[in-house]
Structures are given as C-alpha cells and as structure tokens.
Amino acid sequence: MSAVRYTVQHETLYSYGREVVHSHQMLHLIPRDSERQACLGHSLLIDPTPAVRSEHLDAFGNRVTRIELDRPHRRLLVRADMEISVEALPALPLAEGEPWERVRDQLAYVAADREAPWLEAMRFRFESPFVHIKRLFGDFARDCLQPASTVLQVADCLMTKVHEEFTYTPGATEIATPLLEVFHKRRGVCQDYAHMMIACLRSAGLAARYVSGYLRTYNGSLDDEPPPPAEPAAETPDTSETPEGLVGADASHAWVAVFAPPFGWVEFDPTNNIRVGQDHVALAWGRDFGDVSPLRGVILGGGSHTLSVRVAVQPH
C-alpha cells in the first residue's frame, strides 16, 4: 500500500461565563514525525492573539506550544490545521519476536552501556500520575501472560481482553477518574481503555506508552457548520463510527504502543480491538494522558465554561 495523505483539522472552543483576566496554556497540537508518518504542513490559529507564544520539545520529543493571554476575554478558540502522510505498516506475525519474560527481565536490568532503545523504553515501564502499577492489574492480565508468549502475543491478547470486558460509555468518566474506579465499573472512553492496557503491561514489567491522535473521519470539513456547544468535559471522543466501524472518530483518540523487540514500538488500539494502521494519525506520546493533553493550562477568572471540540481527518 502507498502512503495516505490526510488533511487534519482540530478545533477547540472554550466559552467562559465571566471574563478571563489572564491565561497560560500548553498545547500539544503539532503532530510529530515518526517512522510511519510525516507532518507535511501545520498552522495554528489562536483567538484572541496571545501576548507571548513559544515552541519547544518536551521530555518525550513532542512539539509543544506555550501561550500567554494577558487581556480579558470571554472565549478562547484554538484551531490546528495539519497535512499528514501516513505510511502502510508491514504485517508482523504475533508469534515472532522476543518472549515477554525475556523482555521483562531485560527492562529491569539497568546499566550505563545499555542500547538507546532499551534506555528509552525503561522510561515507560514505571508508574505515572494516571497509571499506577497494581497487583490487581497484573491479575487481570494473567490469562495473557502465557509462558514463552511473545510481547506481541501478550499485547494482542490484552487488547482484546480490555475491548471485550469494558463498555465504551462517553460521560462515564472524567480525566481525573481513578483507574481503579474505571476497572471496577468496566466503563469508560478511549483514554480509559488505553490507560487500562498500559497498566496491565507495566504491571507485568513491560514498557508501554500512551499515544494521542486521531482516526480517519467522514464528516466533512469543520467549515461546514459552526462548532456546537458542549457541557464542561474533558476532550473525549463520542460514539461516532467510521464506515469500518472504528469508534472514536470526530474527536481526539488514544491508543497504546508497546516495546516489542526486535520490532521496536508496536501500536494497538484497545477501543477498537485492532492494530494501529493508516486510519490512525499520531499527535504525541507520553506516559499517560497528562503528558499529551491537547490543551491544558491555568486561568484567572472565567467562572463556569462550556467546551466544544471538533475534529476532521480527511484523506486527499
């Protein structure tokens, strides 16, 4: 298969009940390049115009935009327009690659002369603010941790287990909902599915990272109609489905990458129970959602607010 080129539009609109006097925001809205995708173009519209705007790379190599708004405002509009090329991925037989026990043991071994890919992977083996390592998660994953299974077999089994045992329910959780609560309720949205799978992999001693991005959509351009109002909420996807049945289109999406030598990082989408392919566009990755939130910051004033988020990912 040849590369697929996408035009991506991501629009976020905050409407405040009272004037915001001052605001600092951090944006993860510039897609990163990787072996499977390249950012061919990018623009970022921010209204009102920030007094200060800068860009840098964070600790995980994501491109971050920081802005400061120093004049009173009742709304904040952020629109990112991107052009992305996504390459086809080679088929990877699940039975090939290193046994998960060997990878687990190697990730636990720290030495100054370790190869760079292993040192990088070790950063994603430990707890993070939204993903705690618990025996409960290890027990949940036990059926998938068969002796001598490859990392890919373990990850594929866990992806299916999370997909089948959890119910996709928009509004059932918030960003701050503890993962243990999600586990017991067995309900959530894409970031919960991703956090759950990551917790299971890390509890088994494997390295897994959280990937934020988008799915191919079929809803036309964001210019077709104005953004609808929304209740205060995190940037979580709705129940939209593409013709192929992929849940999570038309909004931000999330999935999991697992370190699987000798193939490197291999991505799985537990929300849809599929390997990540050309329908997925990656934006950023980190330990969990907190590292890659599309827009996060602090404000002075504002009162209550409403939030609307729209995404369109169209091939061309």
Write down the pLDDT at residue 249.
75
Write down the pLDDT at residue 311.
93
Write down the pLDDT at residue 237.
37
Q: Are residues 153 and 270 in the same domain?
A: yes
pLDDT, tens digit (0-9, with 9 covering 90-100), for 177-235: 999 999 999 999 999 999 999 999 999 999 999 999 999 986 566 665 544 443 333 34
At 200, list the tokens: 């299971």
Q: Are residues 111 and 82 in the same domain?
A: no
Q: Are residues 25 and 123 in the same domain?
A: no
- Average pLDDT value for the chain: 90
User: What is the rounded distance in angstroms from the CA atom of residue 237 to the CA atom of residue 250?
Assistant: 7
Whether 226 maps to a domain, the answer reads: no
Q: Are residues 171 and 305 in the same domain?
A: no
Q: Is the peptide bond before 262 cis (omega within 30 degrees of 0)?
A: yes
Domain interval for residue 43: 4-88+297-315
Write down the pLDDT at residue 247.
87
Q: Are residues 253 and 144 in the same domain?
A: yes
Write down the pLDDT at residue 85.
97
What is the pTM (predicted TM-score) of this model?
Answer: 0.90
Secondary structure in 3-state letters for the chain = CCCEEEEEEEEEEEEEEEEEEEEEEEEEEECCCCCCEEEEEEEEEEECCCCEEEEEECCCCCEEEEEEECCCEEEEEEEEEEEEEECCCCCCCCCCCCEHHHHHHHHCCCCCCCCHHHHHHHCCCCCECCECCCHHHHHHHHHHCCCCCEHHHHHHHHHHHHHHHCEECCCCCCCCCCHHHHHHHCEECHHHHHHHHHHHHHHCCCCEEEEEEEECCCCCCHHHCCCCCCCCCCCCCCCCECCCCCECCCCCEEEEEEECCCCCEEEEECCCCEECCCCEEEEEEECCHHHHCCEEEEEEECCCEEEEEEEEEEEC
Q: Are residues 163 and 80 in the same domain?
A: no
Q: Are residues 162 and 286 in the same domain?
A: yes
Write down the pLDDT at residue 219.
59
Which position has the token pair 């038309």? Answer: 250
Cβ(312)–Cβ(6) under 8 Å? no
**φ/ψ of residue 75, rounded to 5:** -150, 155
Whether 25 maps to a domain, the answer reads: yes
Whether 95 maps to a domain, the answer reads: no
Q: Are residues 75 and 172 in the same domain?
A: no
Cβ(209)–Cβ(291) under 8 Å? no
Number of domains present in the structure of the chain: 2
Which residues does the chain have with pLDDT short of 70?
1, 218-245
Q: Are residues 25 and 78 in the same domain?
A: yes
Q: Are residues 28 and 154 in the same domain?
A: no
Q: Are residues 285 and 153 in the same domain?
A: yes
The CATH number of the domain holding residue 52 is 2.60.40.2250
Q: Are residues 109 and 49 in the same domain?
A: no
